[in-house]
Amino acid sequence: MPNKKQIYDRDKVAIGLAIFVALISFPFWFNMGKASPAPEIKLSDKAKAAKQCIAPTAYMRAEHMAILDLWRDTVVRDAKRVYSTNDGLTFNMSLSTGENSCMGCHVTKADFCDKCHNYASVRPYCWDCHIAPKENK
């Protein structure tokens, strides 16, 4: 009689573990290399005509939150409400007020802001303080 305990159902345990690992890892290897398509953003006619925001599109996509934070601090702490670009263009440092502000060109929050933020799974706190613009139906 051997001193060591033997597992008599070793084959069944191994098969069960293999099935368990396959089922648990299925979502990872099934979606490997696939990415969800980026959202299509609807721009207003004014934004299309302008061809550029306060900075190039790629920069704005990556850095818009830092710019908005800087604008918030400048408006609140320094009471300056106008931003001037290197090209001499001026913009109101506001999300919601005025024709020459963010929402002046990007008129629908649902089509512009929300689509990208939902895609990136982020919840910005802009609209916790600011009044969200009314959507035109």
Q: Write the pLDDT tens digit of every residue in 32-55.
A: 888 788 888 777 777 777 767 888
Q: Is the pTM of this model over 0.75?
A: no
Question: What pLDDT does residue 5 have?
Answer: 65
Residue 82 phi, psi dihedral angles, 5° rounding: -120, 130
Average pLDDT of the chain, as a whole number:
83
What is the spatial distance between Cα 104 and Cα 55, in angstroms, rounded to a whole number? Answer: 16
